[in-house]
């Protein structure tokens, strides 16, 4: 046998140590990022975890993040299996998170403009007014505010005003309950299917169906009148009319309510974590307030002004590093492929732990310290290839990241300009949840001590 004909040998994939019967389930439920980091330190970039009775391979660390961005990575991994139950539940023909390849890119093309910075260009005065309205409703002086919930209402209000001109605030709880159940049961599968028969879910799901039905009627009327807006939902309806094979009637319900589902937990969780980091870390609050006050003193806020929020942007990036939404991405191997000397078998379901390097002092010195200066040009720790993945990696990188960054920057600036806030206690330690999306626990509260600055309205750009 020639050397070329020799059978290649691969390393054996190690099983992560755990406790009898439960394996790594408790660690995963408590803090998946910590589990993936511990296993990476102990076993390297490839290992197998035992969670909820299922053994799954994990590829992790900087190596996995870089692999996701290569041609080999794009062709070796797919998303279909994890999102197929969700597609079936909605009776849709397809969904963005499920599809790969050319079809995925076509769907991204439909929604790209609506999820871009341009969606709010020239509308920062409107966004500021929406934030003020939400502050009046959910951030009252002298109260303890449940931060995640308050941000959920604020984000739905912001998205509603941007996308439709009105916000479905009456549906916020229904949207949250609906997506909580669907993700836990159908996608992460940490809850049994009978949960979808519980009254709480059935009531919320009925309400979300009502919301989507009303939205479809509204946008069909816009189409008939020729008044479809130039925003995300308008783009979706235009694609339905012009390319019904790509966006058929059966997919409209999921697509039109999708932006609320996508932003409700993800952006709210990041903003809540950011508020905690700012209030908890000595010296940061004063810097944020100074930068926020300078922005609001301009009266007219532009996109360039948002880009110049160095301290606030650093706080948001640091929140996404320390409390990442995309702890790991779930994928299936499309074929046998080699990764770091290991053979990953075709059709194997696996986690891709791209956030592991967020917590490694090799890349982020003192990783447990909330430090917004990591992202200054002279430091730029996040610019090392493969070490910072707050929006995931590969073809499924968050489509709305640019819009999310603008919304979060403006929200933090306006909030800390307007309000004087503190933690419940100086030594409060943030509690977190893991499913369906990682982030601060729902019982995290802050005290609104009073109003720092009045709600002076911003002026539109000329």
Q: What are the CA-CA distances from residue 414 to residues 58, 291, 295, 417 (Å)?
A: 40, 10, 9, 5
Residue 315 in marked binding region = no
Q: What are the CA-CA distances from residue 311 to residues 122, 270, 286, 375, 461 (Å)?
A: 23, 16, 10, 9, 24
Known binding residues: 398
Known binding residues for heme: 398
């Amino acid at each position: 046998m020639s050397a070329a004909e020799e059978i290649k040998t691969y390393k054996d994939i190690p099983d992560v140590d755990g406790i009898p019967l439960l394996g790594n389930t408790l660690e995963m439920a408590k803090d998946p990022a910590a589990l993936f980091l511990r296993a990476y330190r102990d076993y390297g970039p490839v290992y197998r975890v035992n969670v909820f009775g299922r053994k799954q391979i994990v590829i992790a660390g900087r190596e996995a993040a870089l692999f996701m961005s290569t041609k080999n990575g794009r062709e070796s991994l797919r998303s279909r299996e994890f999102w197929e139950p969700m597609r079936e539940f909605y009776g849709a023909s397809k969904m963005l998170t499920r599809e790969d390849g050319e079809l995925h890119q076509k769907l991204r093309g439909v929604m790209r403009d609506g999820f871009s910075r341009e969606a709010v260009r020239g509308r920062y005065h409107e966004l500021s007014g929406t934030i003020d309205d939400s502050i009046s409703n959910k951030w009252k002086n002298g109260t303890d505010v449940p931060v995640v919930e308050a941000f959920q209402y604020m984000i739905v209000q912001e998205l509603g005003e941007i996308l439709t001109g009105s916000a479905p605030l009456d549906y916020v709880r229904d949207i949250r309950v609906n997506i909580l159940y669907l993700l836990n049961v159908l996608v992460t599968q940490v809850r049994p299917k009978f949960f979808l028969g519980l009254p709480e879910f059935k009531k919320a799901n009925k309400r979300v169906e009502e919301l989507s039905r009303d939205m479809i009627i509204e946008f069909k009327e816009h189409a008939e009148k020729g008044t479809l807006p130039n925003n995300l939902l308008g783009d979706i309806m235009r694609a339905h009319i012009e390319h019904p094979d790509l966006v058929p009637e059966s997919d409209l319900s999921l697509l039109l309510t999708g932006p609320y589902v996508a932003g409700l937990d993800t952006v709210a969780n990041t903003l809540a974590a950011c508020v905690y980091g700012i209030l908890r870390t000595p010296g940061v609050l004063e810097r944020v307030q100074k930068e926020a006050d300078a922005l609001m003193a301009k009266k007219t806020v532009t996109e360039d002004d948002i880009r110049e929020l160095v301290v606030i942007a650093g706080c948001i990036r640091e929140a996404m590093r320390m409390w990442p939404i995309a702890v790991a991405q779930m994928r299936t191997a499309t074929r046998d492929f080699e990764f770091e000397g290991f053979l990953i078998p075709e059709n194997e379901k696996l986690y891709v732990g791209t956030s592991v390097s967020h917590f490694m002092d090799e890349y982020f010195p003192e990783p447990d310290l909330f430090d917004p200066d990591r992202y200054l040009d002279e430091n730029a720790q996040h610019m090392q290839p493969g070490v910072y993945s707050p929006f995931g990696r590969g073809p499924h990188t968050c489509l709305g990241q640019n819009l999310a960054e603008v919304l979060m920057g403006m929200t933090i600036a306006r909030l800390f300009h307007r309000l004087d806030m503190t933690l419940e206690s100086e030594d409060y330690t943030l509690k977190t949840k893991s499913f369906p999306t990682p982030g601060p626990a729902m019982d995290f509260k802050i005290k609104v001590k009073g109003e720092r600055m009045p709600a002076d309205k911003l002026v539109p750009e000329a």
